[in-house]
């Protein structure tokens, strides 16, 4: 991997800070000043930042399942000082999120120290199913019927794997939808196209990982069964070139 990524993955600095550190000549690889974009082997090369060794070799990756609350940023740091998902989990070097949830969207969010796996799980070729429940106002029954035929968005047609609508009372509905495309703001845009007003949006599952009874803002480790299924998804045929 490139030296900047190795530094960021080790948690020594952010990716942007890693780029600058290499450009400034503060990073050495095996005693030599690193070059921008230089490829390194974290398992063999000795990397230092400002003279201090950086532990880049990871022997066992960490996986965390977080029930992301609303009004939480899916980012490492927020310039406005808002709470981020990293404020809610252990400070693990090299931890990254698997896909992004909107600021107000709640529910299942995976985090891992395995950047390669994170990329694989969010790549369209893997078609990882994600289930959401949106609390909506509008004609949800008609919307569900329309959605099963496919919803045309500005960046393409979306055909959900499953759509259900359940009455909640007071003219509100639980609009449950399973998708696999992973487009930006996809569920909210689908609801908008179907003339549904979203009051709340929760991701209840990501692949084999289900929210269950995990309280909002709390985290847990990945189970062995979940890890087995994720490993099978990750190990599918090589990703096509972008």
Number of structural domains the chain divides into: 3
Q: Tell me: pLDDT of 238 over 50.
A: no
- Residues 182-207 have a mean pLDDT of 96
> What's the pTM?
0.77
Looking at the fold, whether 135 and 114 belong to one and the same domain comes out as no
Last residue of a domain, one of 13, 28, 53: 53
Rounded Cα distance between 215 and 82, Å, is: 20
Percent residues over pLDDT 90 in the chain: 72
- Residues 209-231 have a mean pLDDT of 95
Q: Which of 48-52, 141-145, 172-176 has the lowest mean pLDDT?
A: 48-52
Q: Tell me: pLDDT of 5 over 90.
A: no
Angle, CA of 48, 53 and 59, to the nearest 5°? 115
- Residues 150-158 have a mean pLDDT of 94
Looking at the fold, whether 198 and 217 belong to one and the same domain comes out as no
Contacts of 64 (CB under 8 A, 6+ apart): 89, 90, 92, 95, 110, 111, 112, 219, 220, 221, 222
- Residue 102 annotated to the active site: yes
- Residues 190-207 have a mean pLDDT of 98
Q: Which CATH number covers residue 20?
A: 3.10.290.10
Residue 240 lies in a domain: no
Q: Tell me: pLDDT of 240 over 60.
A: no
Residue 192 lies in a domain: yes
- Residues 25-35 have a mean pLDDT of 95
Residue 134, SS3 per DSSP: strand
Residue 241 lies in a domain: no
Rounded Cα distance between 55 and 16, Å, is: 19
pLDDT of residue 239: 44
DSSP annotation of 143: H
Looking at the fold, whether 110 and 223 belong to one and the same domain comes out as yes
User: Domain limits at 161?
Assistant: 129-206
Looking at the fold, whether 219 and 197 belong to one and the same domain comes out as no
Q: Which of 54-68, 127-141, 159-173 has the lowest mean pLDDT?
A: 54-68
Looking at the fold, whether 117 and 143 belong to one and the same domain comes out as no
Looking at the fold, whether 119 and 224 belong to one and the same domain comes out as yes
The overall average pLDDT reported for the chain is 91
Q: Which CATH number covers residue 174?
A: 3.30.2350.10
- Residues 93-119 have a mean pLDDT of 92
Q: Tell me: pLDDT of 199 over 70.
A: yes
Rounded Cα distance between 165 and 144, Å, is: 6
Looking at the fold, whether 121 and 214 belong to one and the same domain comes out as yes
Looking at the fold, whether 119 and 222 belong to one and the same domain comes out as yes
Looking at the fold, whether 195 and 99 belong to one and the same domain comes out as no
Catalytic residue among 45, 102, 139, 192: 102
Q: What is the pLDDT of residues 69-96, one digit of tens each?
A: 999 999 988 999 999 999 999 988 888 9
């Amino acid at each position: 991997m490139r030296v900047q990524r190795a530094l960021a993955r080790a948690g020594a600095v952010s990716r942007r800070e890693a780029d600058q550190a290499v450009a400034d000549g503060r990073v050495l690889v095996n005693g030599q000043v690193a070059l921008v974009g230089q490829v390194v082997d974290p398992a063999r090369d000795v990397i230092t930042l400002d003279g201090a060794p950086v532990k880049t070799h990871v022997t066992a990756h960490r996986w965390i399942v977080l029930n992301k609350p609303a009004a939480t940023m899916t980012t490492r740091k927020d310039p406005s000082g808002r709470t981020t998902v990293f404020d809610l989990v252990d400070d693990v070097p090299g931890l990254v999120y698997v896909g992004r949830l909107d600021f107000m969207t709640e529910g299942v969010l995976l985090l891992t120290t395995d950047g390669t796996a994170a990329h694989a799980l969010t790549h369209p070729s893997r078609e990882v199913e994600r289930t959401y429940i949106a609390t909506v106002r509008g004609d949800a029954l008609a919307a569900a019927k329309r959605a099963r035929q496919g919803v045309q968005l500005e960046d393409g047609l979306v055909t959900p794997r499953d759509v259900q609508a359940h009455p909640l009372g007071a003219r509100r509905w639980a609009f449950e939808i399973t998708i696999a495309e992973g487009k930006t703001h996809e569920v909210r845009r689908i609801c908008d196209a179907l003339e549904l007003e979203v009051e709340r949006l929760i991701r209840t599952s990501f692949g084999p990982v289900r929210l269950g009874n995990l309280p909002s803002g709390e985290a847990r480790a990945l189970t062995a069964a979940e890890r087995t299924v994720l490993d099978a998804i990750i190990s599918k045929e090589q990703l096509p070139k972008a």
